[in-house]
Amino acid sequence: MVPVATLLLLRHGRTTANADGGLAGRQPVELDDTGRAQASAVGERLRQVPLAAVVTSPLIRCRQTLELALPQATPVVEDGLIECDYGSWEG
């Protein structure tokens, strides 16, 4: 039997833009207190999961989520994993 790979996708924790209903897009929006707690909580759930690789978006909110959830991970930053550019609608 051929082993099947499992892909886990993790969205960043809450930000002030999420809480306010704003469109963050590519803006350097950081996690708020709730988002930091969410990231830490998901880290508890993922602690025992063996991960072959960890890849992250270059956005600060994504990197913060990963740092809190999986502080032992050495992620690869993938520039292609970035939010759409919403132009003047952002912020």
> Would residue 83 show up in a list of annotated catalytic residues for this protein?
yes
Q: What is the pLDDT of residues 35-73, one digit of tens each?
A: 999 999 999 999 899 999 999 999 999 999 999 999 999
| pLDDT(23) > 90 | no
Confirm whether pTM is higher than 0.85.
Answer: yes
Look-up of token digits 């988002």: 35
**More confident call, 3 vs 80:** 80
Q: Is 59 within a domain? A: yes
pLDDT at 91 over 80: no
Residue of 30, 67, 83, 90 marked catalytic: 83
Catalytic annotation on 78?
no
Higher-scoring residue by pLDDT: 37, 1? 37
3-state secondary structure the chain: CCCCCCCCCCCCCCEHHHHHCCCCCCCCCCECHHHHHHHHHHHHHHCCCCCCCCEECCCHHHHHHHHHHCCCCCCEECCCCCCCCCHHHCC
The single-letter code of the amino acid at 16 is T
78 found inside a domain: yes
Question: Which of 12, 30, 44, 78 does the annotation list as catalytic?
Answer: 12
Higher-confidence residue: 2 or 69? 69
Count of the separate structural domains present in the chain: 1
CATH number at residue 32: 3.40.50.1240
